[in-house]
């Protein structure tokens, strides 16, 4: 019985490479390709694949959102997150969204094949680096407390390099209030300056890494 695989990646070369890898093994059948999260979700509904290889960085709908949707709507389809970069928010985000595996694109073909087979059987498969990252996150007691909605809003502006006064103007509240929020943010994130908070925000992907055009 072959494993029916859906590939979701916006990079043509990556799709081609994955197809190449998987076509060498008759256990797999590539039943579709998507170039963004929305398309992946639609194709998953249509084709009902066993495994989706999901890139996390895609236009239209990001891979994490798509993963969550697929897992919610198609419980029999397993998702493996496949990404080139290892970011804090990616690993935990993908896991939280229901991905059964997390692989880096520098994974060698045999490891990839093992991972997909494991996923098809519902077994968890993480790349060593992703596993290390996860361990670190779980191990570390410095897990930041959850921010409130307003605090997140303030952090987002702060991470754009704005001063308290500017943030106050933008949110139409007093500067003192902003300072209170910033103080609470620093304490919750366990950092000691707005710069560190801004760097944290960038790291977890709160602010987009500078849009195109």
Shortest Å, Cβ 142 to DNA: 15
Residue 76 within binding range of a second copy, rule CB under 8 A: no
Residue closer to DNA (CB basis): 65 or 184: 184
Out of 68, 80, 120, 133, which residue is the one contacting a second copy (CB under 8 A)?
133
Q: What is the DSSP string of 38-99?
A: HHHHHHHHHH--SEEEEESS-SSS-HHHHHHHHHHH-TT-EEEEEESS--HHHHHHHHHHT-
Out of 23, 48, 143, 187, which residue is the one contacting DNA (CB under 7 A)?
187
Out of 24, 27, 132, 174, which residue is the one contacting DNA (CB under 7 A)?
174
> Look-up: residue for tokens 């790349």?
127
Report which of 115, 117, 131, 107 is spatially closest to residue 27, judged by C-alpha positions: 117
Residue 193 within binding range of DNA, rule CB under 7 A: yes
Shortest Å, Cβ 120 to a second copy: 19
Binding site for DNA (CB under 7 A): 148-151, 163-165, 171, 173-174, 176-177, 179-183, 186-187, 192-195
């Amino acid at each position: 019985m072959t494993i029916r695989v859906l590939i979701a990646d916006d990079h043509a070369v990556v799709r081609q490479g994955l197809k190449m890898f998987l076509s060498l093994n008759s256990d797999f059948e590539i039943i579709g390709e998507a170039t963004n999260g929305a398309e992946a979700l639609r194709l998953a509904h249509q084709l009902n694949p066993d495994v989706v290889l999901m890139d996390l960085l895609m236009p239209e709908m990001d891979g994490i959102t798509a993963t969550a949707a697929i897992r919610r709507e198609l419980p029999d389809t397993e998702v493996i997150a496949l990404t080139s970069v290892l970011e804090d928010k990616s690993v935990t985000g993908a896991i939280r969204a229901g991905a059964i595996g997390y692989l880096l694109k520098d994974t060698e073909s045999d490891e990839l094949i093992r991972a997909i087979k494991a996923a098809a059987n519902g077994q968890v498969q993480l790349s060593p680096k992703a596993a290390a990252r996860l361990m670190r996150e779980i191990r570390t007691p410095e897990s930041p407390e959850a921010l409130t909605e307003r605090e997140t809003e303030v952090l987002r502006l702060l991470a754009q390099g704005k001063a308290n006064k500017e943030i106050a103007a933008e949110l139409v509240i007093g500067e003192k209030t902003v300072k209170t929020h910033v103080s609470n943010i620093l304490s919750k994130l366990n950092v000691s300056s707005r710069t560190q908070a801004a760097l944290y925000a960038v790291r977890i992907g709160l602010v987009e890494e500078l849009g195109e055009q």
